[in-house]
């Protein structure tokens, strides 16, 4: 077992606003902008050319993926929606069928090959667990055998052939084979057990070397896991509840971290520079 290194970085606010639960940071290479969501308020935020903009709906917004020239696919409490452009009205693609009122879409992104994939969260921690879904051509949601009270940590290897996801409650990160051309996937197997680290695995991304970066909720840190499943670095973060990480920006090495509010203050969106490069986020193309 390799010894991980602590990597101390200087973070600055990407924006000065505070958030209840900021999540899903994405580098929008189409618009040269950073985007993220504020889940409880149903908000999609964009920082473009130094100007922060927000779209807001009366529907908890868990995640967003890029579609078309400037649009998004949105995973919300009520279902999956298409936003054809920043200014457009959203259109429902498919509702989220659920047996518990606190079930909602949580973590999600565009998969290699152009499908939208997202997991759900049951905040009540009783009844049905959350699970991952894959949006197929024709607007059908395919249920995937990947279950957790809080489905998190969805990311893909640079080649697109490996799918990663995290069960926040158990602190386990899984991996499975994935076929971008067909959307077929293999059995999930434990990739990394993070029970020995502070916090619990939340949102994640993958760098160009194939390493998996995951925010450790309530752990004040981000963990980088090599493609071999060994933790290489632990990065302290000046927020209590980091929720997700992303790599992007003009040079690809800008690290952005979102967080949730705590007793010490609101959630923040923070940024710094690192020595690793991100990979380009794919578009949703099945619609």
Kindly state whether residue 165 falls inside one of the protein's structural domains.
yes
Structure confidence at residue 216 (pLDDT): 98
Binding residues: 23, 104, 106, 152, 202
pLDDT digits (tens, 9 = 90+) for 240-265: 999 999 999 999 999 999 999 999 99
Structure confidence at residue 3 (pLDDT): 86
Kindly state whether residue 283 falls inside one of the protein's structural domains.
no
Kindly state whether residue 281 falls inside one of the protein's structural domains.
no
List Cβ<8 Å contacts ≥24 apart for 148-152: 148/119, 149/121, 149/122, 149/125, 150/106, 150/121, 150/122, 151/106, 151/107, 151/119, 151/120, 151/121, 152/106, 152/107, 152/119, 152/201, 152/202, 152/203, 152/204
Q: Which domain holds residue 50?
A: 5-273
Kindly state whether residue 205 falls inside one of the protein's structural domains.
yes
pLDDT digits (tens, 9 = 90+) for 87-96: 999 999 999 9
pLDDT at 2 over 80: no
Kindly state whether residue 282 falls inside one of the protein's structural domains.
no
Cα separation, 129 vs 219, whole angstroms:
24
Structure confidence at residue 99 (pLDDT): 81
Pairing mode, if any, of strands 269-273 and 254-260? Answer: antiparallel
pLDDT digits (tens, 9 = 90+) for 143-194: 999 999 999 999 999 999 999 999 999 999 999 999 999 999 999 999 999 9
pLDDT at 30 over 90: yes
pLDDT at 1 over 80: no
Kindly state whether residue 279 falls inside one of the protein's structural domains.
no
Segments in the chain forming alpha helices (H): none
CATH code at position 67: 2.120.10.30
Cα separation, 82 vs 55, whole angstroms:
13
Kindly state whether residue 125 falls inside one of the protein's structural domains.
yes
Binding residues for a divalent metal cation: 23, 152, 202
Where in the sequence numbering do the catalytic residues fall? Answer: 202
pLDDT digits (tens, 9 = 90+) for 191-238: 999 999 999 999 999 999 999 999 999 999 999 999 999 999 999 999
CA–CA–CA angle 206, 136, 187 (5° rounding): 55
Count of domains forming the chain: 1
């Amino acid at each position: 077992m390799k010894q991980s290194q602590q990597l101390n970085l200087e973070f600055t606010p990407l924006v000065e606003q505070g958030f209840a639960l900021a999540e899903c940071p994405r580098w929008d290479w189409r618009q040269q902008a950073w985007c993220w969501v504020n889940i409880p308020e149903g908000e999609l935020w964009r920082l473009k050319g130094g100007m922060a903009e927000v779209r807001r709906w009366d529907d908890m917004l868990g995640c967003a993926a890029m579609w078309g020239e400037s649009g998004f696919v949105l995973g919300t409490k009520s279902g999956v929606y298409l936003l054809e452009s920043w200014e457009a009205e959203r259109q429902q693609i498919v509702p989220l069928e659920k047996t518990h009122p606190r079930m909602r879409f949580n973590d999600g992104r565009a998969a290699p090959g152009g499908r939208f994939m997202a997991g759900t969260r049951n905040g009540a921690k009783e009844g049905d667990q959350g699970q991952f879904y894959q949006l197929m051509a024709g607007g059908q949601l395919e249920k995937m055998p990947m279950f957790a009270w809080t489905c998190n940590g969805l990311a893909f290897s640079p080649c697109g052939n490996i799918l990663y996801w995290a069960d926040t409650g158990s602190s386990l990160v899984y991996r499975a084979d994935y076929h971008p051309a067909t959307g077929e996937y293999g059995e999930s197997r434990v990739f990394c057990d993070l029970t020995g680290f502070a916090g619990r695995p939340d949102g994640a991304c993958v760098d160009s070397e194939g390493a998996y970066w995951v925010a450790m909720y309530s752990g004040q840190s981000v963990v980088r896991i090599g493609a071999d499943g060994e933790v290489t670095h632990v990065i302290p973060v000046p927020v209590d509840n980091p929720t997700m990480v992303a790599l992007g920006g003009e040079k690809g090495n800008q690290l952005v971290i979102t967080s949730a509010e705590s007793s010490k203050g609101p959630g923040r969106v923070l940024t710094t520079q690192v020595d690793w490069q991100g990979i380009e986020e794919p578009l949703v193309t099945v619609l």
